[in-house]
Amino acid sequence: MSLVSIENLTVSFGGHEAVSDVSFTIDRGEGVAIVGESGSGKSVTARTLIGLTGDGACVAARRATFDGIDLTRLRERQWRGIRGSRIGFVMQDALVSLDPIRPVGREIDEALRVSTALGRAERDRRVIELLGRVGVPHPELRARQLPSQLSGGLRQRALIASAIAGDPELLIADEPTTALDVTVQAQILDLLDDLKNDGRALLVISHDLAVVSRVAERLLVVRQGRVVEAGDTRAVFAAPQHEYTRALLAAIPAEHARGTRLVPGAGSGWEPTLVGAVGAAPVPWASSGSVDGAATHVGEVGEVVARAEGVSKDFVGPDGVSRTVVDDVSFEVRAGETLGIVGESGSGKTTTGRIVVGLEAPTRGSVWIVGRRDDGEPVQHDWATASRADRRALRRDVQIIYQDPLSSFDPRYTVGRVLAEALTVSGRATRSTGVRVRSIELLEQVGLGAEHLARRPLTLSGGQRQRVAIARALATEPRLILLDEPVSALDVSVQAQVLDLLADVQGATGVAYLFISHDLGVISHVSDRVLVLKDGRVVEQGDIDDVFARPQHAYTQQLLAAIPRIEPAGASAGASAGAPAR
């Protein structure tokens, strides 16, 4: 008999069904994954297994058992006997899932106290053992530290340690690797796989198909609360049956070369439903000159628009010690091309970008921006030496798009006012009628329309907000746009649309992109050339195909090896770099 057996699970919140008729089983020692985008009901499903669906949830099922126990008949006290000691739960984002003002050791101790009858000294010993088990070095020291004092990877390990403290038969992990660097992500997946090999059943919740393929033998693809496809992981990836699964697989940028579209053009049947599913507008930008499914990037690489020469940046930390976060970085960006900057957190990629666009002054070195005077003549300025007026004029040549577009809009402003400000400040439109006409043009260029002028960014979806941010950047008719993790907060299908849009915009305007991302898949899809940063230094740069196909530096090789690829479970254990210490 299966360890977990769920039939026709339905969860609704105030009349809205978040999960509809979901059925699945989990066997002992088996890895099962639930995959879906935000709002698919995947987390709700998982939390129902421990009776913590949330306030106001109405949960029903034809059958819901765990090891023969009828979950539908449990009272709160009986649920407590299951939580922790029989089902361990790893919530997403360890930074907020561990009590920020308690040392991580006490969190694990609490789990032990609830699920075991051990004495204090025995528990203290177990805490250290558990931290060691999940691969935390120096467990005695780490146990006394707060979550905020640990790195992302160590935090995640500590959280997993607290979830397995009661030695549960089933471990549920909700987005266990989201927000982790790619090398750390690989280590956590190895750890989960290892815990599964101890005989535990594993249920992984993720939006990332590649992550899931590493640890799950079977998977469920869910969308809007319903299972659209289920089966053997290997079989599903080899031959996806449902159009949504195919769309998700198609939208993964890593699998597609530069210049190909991630969202096939209208008319291929499934596309409108996918777009509808994420609440974004249909794709009118197809009219802006791109050809369905064909290569849109014409590769018209032109003159240099920005040049960084030996740029370094030192920051003085709170302890008074100066640290070099950007160290002697040099590169050029040319019109019409995309220069990708890739690196893990703390590599200095964001600071490099901010220096290029003049939001931060370099400690050493200089950044030259080639702009155009009003008469069209090219003019070159160094941010550091340019006059105040020149700097302001340069601003319109260089724009920036943030990871979180919402916070980059004045909360009091409508979309129309946001665009009007950009247009009038840059002098690209004067007179109110001209501003309005141009604003609508810009919105249409990014796949929105005049009806969005009066909206406030707060009321738009994440994808729409990023489109408005792109429209605002385009308003000044820039020659270079800095994109700082522009799609990292978006679902994969929305991400695909935004990446396609960016490619279209570049094709139409010849703008240069400086594209910062931690996601090597995204970088490989969008970039012509790439810069690999580690600890503020350029360890490798060059043509994207060269670097990704023939990485020269050990760090680049390590990064590329750690990228989760779609592959069957089991094959990867221990194969990637930096397996956890046992």
Partner 1 sequence: MSLRAPGDRLAASTDTPADRGLVAFTSAAPTRAAGWLGRIPLVAAALFLAALAVAAAWPSLLAPFDPYAVDTTNALAAPGGAHPLGTDENGRDILSRLIYGARASLLLGFGAIAIAVVGGVVFGLAAGLGNRFLDGLIMRTMDVGLAFPELLLALVVISIVGGGTTNALLAIGLASIPSYARLVRAQTFAIRQAPYIEAARALGVRESHVVWRHVLPNAVKPVVILATIGIGTATVAGSALSFLGLGTAPPEPEWGSMLSSARNFLDLAWWYGAFPGLAITGLVISTTLIGRYLQQRSEGRGA
Partner 2 sequence: MDVAKIGVRLAAGVGVAWGAATLTFLAVQITPGDPAYAIVGGPEANPSPEVIAQVRAEYGFDQPLLVQYVRYLGRLAVGDLGTSYRLQSPVTQVLGEQIGGTVQLAGVAALLAAVLAVVVAVFTARRGPVVRGGATSIELFLASSPSFWLGILLLSVFSYALHWLPSVGNADGRALVLPALTLALPIAAVLSQVLRSSLEEVLEQPFITTARARGLSDAAVRVRHGLRHSLIPLATMTGFVVGGLLGGTVIVESLFTRQGLGRTLLAAVNAKDMPVVLGVVLLSAVVYVVVNLVVDLLYPVLDPRLKTVTATEARETVTANEGTETTETEEVSA
Residues at the contact surface with partner 1, assessed by CB under 8 A = 2, 5, 7-8, 10, 12, 14, 17, 20-21, 23-25, 27, 48, 51, 53, 55-62, 64, 71-74, 218, 220, 226-231, 242, 357, 359, 392-396, 398-400, 402, 404, 407-412, 421-422, 425-426, 458, 472, 476
Q: Please, which residue, 152 or 264, has the CB nearer to partner 2?
A: 152
Minimum Å gap between C-beta 537 and partner 2 is 14
Query: Please, what's the b/e burial string for 84-107 (b: 16 or more CB within 10 A of its CB; e: otherwise)?
Result: bbbbbbbbbbbeebbeeeebbbbb
517 pairs with which residues across the strands?
A: 342
Minimum Å gap between C-beta 390 and partner 1 is 11
Residue 318 interface partner, choices partner 2, partner 1, none, CB cut-off 5-8 Å depending on type: partner 2
Minimum Å gap between C-beta 490 and partner 1 is 17
Q: In what order do the strands lie in the sheet with 16-26?
A: 16-26, 4-13, 63-66, 69-70
Residue 99 interface partner, choices partner 2, partner 1, none, CB cut-off 5-8 Å depending on type: partner 2
Token look-up 């690797």 returns: 177
Q: Please, which residue, 35 or 154, has the CB nearer to partner 1?
A: 35
Residue 411 interface partner, choices partner 2, partner 1, none, CB cut-off 5-8 Å depending on type: partner 1
Task: Using alpha carbons, select from 216, 82, 179, 197 the residue that is nearest to residue 133.
Answer: 197
Minimum Å gap between C-beta 437 and partner 1 is 20
Round the CA-based radius of gyration of the chain to a whole number and report it.
Answer: 25
Residue 183 interface partner, choices partner 1, partner 2, none, CB cut-off 5-8 Å depending on type: partner 2
Q: Please, which residue, 11 or 251, has the CB nearer to partner 2?
A: 11
CA 3 to chain centre: 32
Question: Is the sign of the CA dihedral 207, 208, 211, 215 positive or negative?
Answer: positive
User: Are 262 and 499 contacting, i.e. CB atoms less than 8 angstroms apart?
Assistant: yes
Residue 72 interface partner, choices partner 2, partner 1, none, CB cut-off 5-8 Å depending on type: partner 1
Helix ranges restricted to H, 347-431: 349-356, 388-395, 415-425
Q: Please, which residue, 395 or 518, has the CB nearer to partner 1?
A: 395
First to last CA, the chain: 32
User: Are 220 and 41 contacting, i.e. CB atoms less than 8 angstroms apart?
Assistant: no
Q: Please, which residue, 399 or 493, has the CB nearer to partner 1?
A: 399
Cα–Cα distance, 88 to 524 (Å, whole number): 37
Burial class (CB in 10 A: 0-12, 13-18, 19+), 269: exposed
Q: Please, which residue, 178 or 509, has the CB nearer to partner 2?
A: 178
Residue 213 interface partner, choices partner 2, partner 1, none, CB cut-off 5-8 Å depending on type: none
Q: Please, which residue, 76 or 377, has the CB nearer to partner 2?
A: 76
Cα–Cα distance, 478 to 61 (Å, whole number): 56
CA 155 to chain centre: 18
- The token duo for 346 is 């703390």
Residue 58 interface partner, choices partner 2, partner 1, none, CB cut-off 5-8 Å depending on type: partner 1
Residue 123 interface partner, choices partner 2, partner 1, none, CB cut-off 5-8 Å depending on type: none
Which element (helix H / strand E) includes 537? strand 537-543
Q: Please, which residue, 321 or 389, has the CB nearer to partner 2?
A: 321
DSSP for residue 94: H
Contact residues for partner 2 (CB under 8 A)? 47, 50, 52, 55, 76, 80-85, 88-89, 91-93, 96-103, 107, 110-111, 114-115, 135, 137-138, 141, 145-146, 148-154, 159, 162-163, 165-166, 181, 183-184, 315, 317-319, 323, 325, 344-351, 354, 360, 558, 577-578, 581
